[in-house]
Structure formats: structure tokens, C-alpha cells
Structure 1
Amino acid sequence: MNLLLKLALLAAASGAMVGTYAATATQTFGVKLVVQESCSIGTTPTDVDFGTHTRQTTAVNTDAAGSLSINCSSGTPYTIALNGGLNATASTRQMLSGANVAAYVLYQDSARATPWGNGTTFGTTVSGTGTGAAVATPVYGRLTSLNFPAGTYSDTVTATVTY
């Protein structure tokens, strides 16, 4: 047999033998993703500061505004509740200066038409849908009188975001 033919037959036979012994193995694996909604309230709210005034015996509205920074993941529905503060009675928020009391109301809107509370006391909650970025949420306050003894009045209100 000619050498070229022998080499061709040998190459064909060795290729067939390699194909005969070839095998495969498979395994499956998972691919997963967990998406969670999230919300936070910024750590530096702007206080509702009514400022400094002289005592007035006639009724007068004194307004002020502050702000909360709410950051919820995009598309996340949320509500913001405000508690009564540290010095509230069953139906009135109050700032204290020693034993002296100054009543006030917090509102959701600049017209001061919708009181802001926890949904059962002091008013309704504020609702929104997250954008994925921090959103400034104003808090409007009103005093209906400045007929209080001289002093520095204060209260602390807690905001809670539920999502």
C-alpha cells in the first residue's frame, strides 16, 4: 500500500477513535434577583421655627414652615405620619416653656387647610410615590395666638415613613 494511503487511513481511524470516546456532562444553575423597596427620611430636617415675637393679646395667625427629605426607591408607594410631639394632649400639639403652653397645628399644605397627623390623631398622613431621589416635603405650621408668657417654647415631633 502506498504510504500516502496508509497515512490517510491511519488519520481517519484515529479521528474515529477520538469521536468514539468523546462524552459530555451538563449541569444547571439558577439565576435570581431580589428587589426590595426602601424609604428613608433625611437626617437633617428643617425645623418649623416660628421665630421671635412680642406678646399680643389679640388673636393673630403666625405661620412657619419646615421640611423633611424623603427618599424612596422608584415606584414605591409611601405615607408619612407625624406624631403629636412630646407635649401633646389627646387633641392638641403643644410647645412648652417650663409650665407655660403654646398650642400649634402642623399642616400638609401652604393654605393650612389639611392638618397633618398620624391618620387617627392630629390629621391625615401624606402619601406619595418614590422617585429614587430625595424629595423635599414641606411641613407647614400655624399658631393662632401669641398671647403667651415670655419664654422659649419648644416641642419635638417624630415623622414616620411607612412603605
Structure 2
Amino acid sequence: MTRAACWAAGLLGTVVVLLPKPAPAPTTTGTLAVSAVVQTSCSLTGGTLNFGTYTSGQTSNLDVDGQITFANCPTGNLVFELDGGGTGNTTARKMTSGSNQLAYQLYRNTTRSAIFATGSNAYTEIRLVAGGGTIPVHGRINANQTVPAGNYADTVNVTLTFP
């Protein structure tokens, strides 16, 4: 390469280096409003339903009442659901003592005609004021069940759905 060609190549490189940089793209800024409503969280403290003593084969139903306690709930519809306990069947609940079973049922009303379960058989409490309270549970062991002596028990899960 000749001296003139080198000089021209260097000048060309200088021209490229000396070209102005493109202007930055225009920008703008704004804000994003972020918010949340925090509500109190309903809580269940559970409950108990103690049938006491059932005599094997007794000729009368054994009816008892209990309650489920709740707290810190907002206003609106509170829906309480009870599962089928150990049997998983809300229409055939059973307490067990070893391999022995004693049938019982839970109800939403004092006449024991409305099973307390899930879905359309749940108990709905309409709260006009936030807070807590109790939900009644009515239990029955039907008469004429002949079972071995023992301590019978079951665990039923309570689900509370709230607004």
C-alpha cells in the first residue's frame, strides 16, 4: 500500500471516528399507583361435641349440642362446612374405637332434620357487624346400636369461607 493510500485509509478512519453519535431516543416517566385492602383474617378455634355416655343398644336417641367458635371475621356471608370425618361420608358419619364403629350425625338445626355438611348443606351466617361468635352444632347418635364398650371418637374438619 502506498503512502497516499495509507494516509487516505487513516483519514477515512478518522472521519468515521469523528462522526457524531446518534441522539438518544426520547424518554418520559410516569407513576404506577399500587394499593391493597387488608382485611382481618377470620379464625376458627374449633369446637367440641361430647356425646357423653351411650349405652349399647339403648332404645332412645342420644342428642347433644355443641358449637364452633370463630373470631375476627368481616361483615358478609360466612359459610361453615363440615366434612365426613373419618368415613369421608357426610351422610354416614361414624366414630370408631379400634375397628368398632358407632354411627352418629351432625345437624344445622335443633330438630335435627338438616345435616351439617358441605355445599348446599353448609351453615351460612350473615354478619352485619365484624367480629366473632359461635355456630351451633347439633349431634345425634341413633337408638338401637349395639356396639362393644369403648371410647369412640371421630375428627371432623371445619372449613370457613368468608368475604
Q: TM-score, normalised by structure 1?
A: 0.68
Residue pair 1:95, 1:154 contacting (<8 A) in 2 also? yes
Q: Which runs of 5+ in 1 are unaligned?
A: 1-29
Aligned equivalent of 1:147: 146
Aligned equivalent of 1:157: 156
What is the correspondence of 1:72-83 to structure 2 with a 5 Å cutoff? 72-83=72-83
Aligned equivalent of 2:135: 137
What displacement does 1:51 show?
0.5
Q: TM-score, normalised by structure 2?
A: 0.68
Per-residue CA deviation, residues 17-67 of structure 1 (Å, 9 max, x unaligned), is: xxxxxxxxxxxxx7966243632212xx33111102332254x21011211
Which SS does the other structure have where 1:86 is aligned? helix
Aligned equivalent of 1:126: 123
Aligned length: 130
What displacement does 1:74 show?
3.6
What is the alpha-carbon distance in structure 2 between the residues aligned to residue 161 and residue 73 of structure 1?
Answer: 10
Per-residue CA deviation, residues 63-122 of structure 1 (Å, 9 max, x unaligned), is: 1121111235342322100000023447410001111111111001111121100126xx
Residue pair 2:95, 2:104 contacting (<8 A) in 1 also? yes
CA RMSD of aligned residues (A): 2.6
Relative to structure 1, the CA distance from residue 32 to residue 53 in structure 2 (aligned partners, 3 Å threshold; closer, same or farther) is: closer
Q: Which runs of 5+ in 2 are unaligned?
A: 1-32
Aligned equivalent of 1:84: 84
